[in-house]
């Protein structure tokens, strides 16, 4: 894994960093991904990124170094989570079971079809990460507000507000699109 580093000193430094923070990286990834194998993959991807940005890390003191590596691990795990769940959503959408699934979890009953799932996903993406990420984590992936807060490093109150605001924006956009179609 560490063969591609530019110099022998960089290789040694990268290996030391990786082994120093390996358990922390794995724990962060496991907390986010909730799957040992995906967490191992995210840990390896984080190691690659440490190697890639080795020169940046050298400039930090130990607290900054730890925080920087934790941020890389968190972002890598979140990206992996999003990519993995996008595959699950796409496979769900592609399955024949999805074609006429009725959902009545709220008073406004919707029939979810392949087309409506695509519309919802597109609208979620347009909300921007600030609202879409906590909203998807809460509604789609069933994370608690507390878990989302810990993963994103944002206060719980802020997460609640973003979920509420994101839901309002999504509903308004979907109602607007629905009116435009009629």
Ranges of each domain in the chain: 2-82, 96-181
pLDDT at 117: 66
Please check the confidence at residue 113 and state whether its pLDDT lies above 70: no
Residue 33 pLDDT: 87
pLDDT over 90 for what percent of the chain?
20
Residue 82 confidence (pLDDT) above 60: yes
Tokens of 139: 């509604």
Look at 97 and 142; give whichever has higher pLDDT.
142
pLDDT tens digits, residue range 11-23?
Answer: 888 888 889 999 9
pLDDT interval class at 125 (50, 70, 90) = confident
Radius of gyration of the chain (CA): 20
State what percent of residues in the chain have pLDDT above 70: 73
φ and ψ at 112, to 5 degrees? -90, 120
Kindly state the tokens that stand for 132: 């879409």
132-162 pLDDT, tens digit per residue, is 888 888 887 778 899 888 888 889 999 999 9
CB 60 within 8 A of CB 13: no
Max CA pair span of the chain: 66
pLDDT band at 99 (very low <50, low <70, confident <90, very high): very low
Sign of CA dihedral 24, 47, 84, 139: positive
10, 58, 177 from 86: Cα distances, Å: 36, 35, 23
Question: What is the reported pLDDT for 142?
Answer: 78
Would you say 31 and 150 are in contact if contact means Cβ atoms under 8 Å apart?
yes
Task: State which CATH number among 3.10.590, 1.10.3470, 1.20.1070, 1.10.1740 fits the domain covering 2-82.
Answer: 1.10.1740
Does 96-181 carry CATH code 3.20.20.70?
Answer: no
């Amino acid at each position: 894994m560490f063969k591609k580093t530019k110099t022998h000193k960089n290789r040694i430094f990268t290996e030391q960093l990786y082994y120093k923070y390996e358990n922390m990286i794995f724990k962060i990834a496991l907390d986010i991904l909730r799957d040992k194998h995906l967490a191992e993959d995210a840990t390896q991807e984080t190691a690659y990124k440490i190697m890639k940005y080795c020169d940046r890390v050298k400039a930090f003191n130990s607290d900054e170094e730890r925080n920087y590596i934790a941020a890389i691990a968190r972002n890598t795990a979140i990206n992996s989570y999003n990519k993995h769940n996008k595959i699950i959503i796409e496979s769900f959408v592609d399955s024949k079971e999805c074609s006429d699934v009725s959902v009545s979890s709220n008073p406004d009953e919707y029939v979810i079809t392949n087309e409506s799932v695509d519309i919802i996903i597109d609208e979620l993406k347009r909300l921007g990460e600030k609202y879409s990420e906590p909203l998807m984590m809460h509604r789609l992936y069933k994370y608690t507000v507390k878990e989302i807060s810990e993963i994103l490093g944002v206060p719980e109150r802020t997460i609640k507000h973003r979920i509420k605001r994101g839901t309002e924006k999504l509903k308004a956009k979907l109602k607007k699109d629905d009116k435009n179609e009629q």
